Amino acid sequence: MSEVSSRDLLERLIAFATVSRDSNLELIRFIEAYLAGHGVQSELFFNDEGTKANLFATIGPLQSGGVVLSGHTDVVPVDGQAWTVDPFHLSEKDGRLYGRGTADMKGFIASVLAAVPNFVQRPLRVPVHLAFSYDEEVGCLGVRPMLVELQKRPYKPALCLIGEPTELKPVLGHKGKLAMRCEVRGAACHSAYAPYGVNAIEYAAKLIGRLGAIGEQLAHPDHHDERFDPPYSTVQTGVIKGGRALNIVPAECEFDFEVRALPNFDAQDVASQLQAYAEEQLLPKMRAVQADTDIKLRPLSAYPGLATSPESEAARLLAILSQSSAFGTVAFGTEGGLFDEAGIPTVVCGPGSMEQGHKPDEFIELAQLQGCDAILLRLADYLCTDPSKM
């Protein structure tokens, strides 16, 4: 199979509308066939419904060590966004490539696929692995079953490079996330007799106020880590629903909140504090009016933070590849914490900027794509050297 540029591969990838709510199988089958054309076999790890799959492939010797090049294949929706171009057809103008997923993060995947012929032809001393996942955009869900399987194997990669858009700057850390739903069940009655009911919205407001107080505590300078922006763990409520009519005391209310946690902070501690407040302060008052009232917390999604040491082998290699040791962090999450928890030290570096991610007329600069191509060429050179370095 002849070589194809990263730009042309990105055009193919963008044409697959792999919004998280839909299947990614057409794209995965395309990648599987592309790799097979270069003599590379792939493994697929399907979801329970068989509608989505992760892809894992290895190039080079089957042994421990080497690098995982990781990216997610799903993209966020375009619904309600004012695009001026077709989001699922690559458009090029003034050195920019437009389309959903160009920056986040099919640009990186395109560069990886364009590098495959070089990886195959080179005498790699340690392997390069490709790991492409689904459902990253809805809580880093899809990669988990693949990581479970990889942990069972005797051959462990030395490190993982996740190609999320960092403008090719070397990144060693990001915050973790916990998303929760709080469901308040009160007791309805006519609003003229409000004291005889239990107003679910008002009790939800007390809980939201408590979250705000917890957030203020986390923002105290004693809890700061200046590597991050903002330099502390944050709490915010993003969705609230409740009530049927103004003259009815509402019996139901629910709200969703999230914690963006520094890597050394357990986000579950916020949920535990809120649960304790509900049980100790609110539920006794609610149940004094109506015995079957309740407050329940339910997890929606979570992923861990990432904090790779700048003294690690992973950081040293990232400095070589990116030609910079100006390590930073990013505000958005990645699958990196999950790879790290699976015993694979992880770093983040990829083409494009998250400033364009999730927005209408998302784009990546062609120069960024070419810069990523150059990084992967340097990686191939490195993997042909002394394997004891990894």
Where in the chain are the domains? 6-174+306-384, 176-303
Q: Helix, strand or coil for residue 118?
A: helix
Could you say which of 3.30.70.360, 3.40.30.10, 3.30.460.10, 3.40.640.10 is the CATH number of the domain covering 176-303? Answer: 3.30.70.360
**Dist CA 145 CA 46 (whole Å):** 9
pLDDT, residue 266, reads: 95
| Token pair in block for residue 252 | 């139901």
- As a CATH number, domain 6-174+306-384 is 3.40.630.10
Distances (CA, A) of 183 to 53, 113, 197, 241, 251: 33, 45, 17, 10, 11
Chunked mean pLDDT (size 10), the chain, 390 residues:
88 97 98 98 96 97 92 97 97 97 98 98 96 96 95 91 98 97 98 97 98 98 94 97 97 98 96 98 98 97 95 95 96 95 96 96 98 97 76
CA distances from 27 to 77, 133, 265 (A): 16, 11, 37
Give the separation between CA 215 and CA 220, rounded to whole angstroms.
9
Rounded Cα distance between 27 and 12, Å, is: 9
Active site residues per annotation: 74, 136
Q: What does the pLDDT read at residue 64?
A: 85
Per DSSP, helices labelled H in 242-289 are 268-277, 283-289
Give 44's DSSP letter: E
Q: Which pLDDT score, from 0 to 100, does residue 2 have?
A: 64
Q: What is the 3-class SS of 172-222, one letter each residue?
A: EEECEEEEEEEEEECECCEHHHHHHCECHHHHHHHHHHHHHHHHHHHCCHH
First to last CA, the chain: 31
| Residues 53 and 131: beta-carbon distance below 8 Å | no
Q: Is 160 left (phi over 0), alpha (psi -120 to 50) or beta?
A: beta
Torsion of CA 318, 322, 328, 333, to 10 degrees: -70
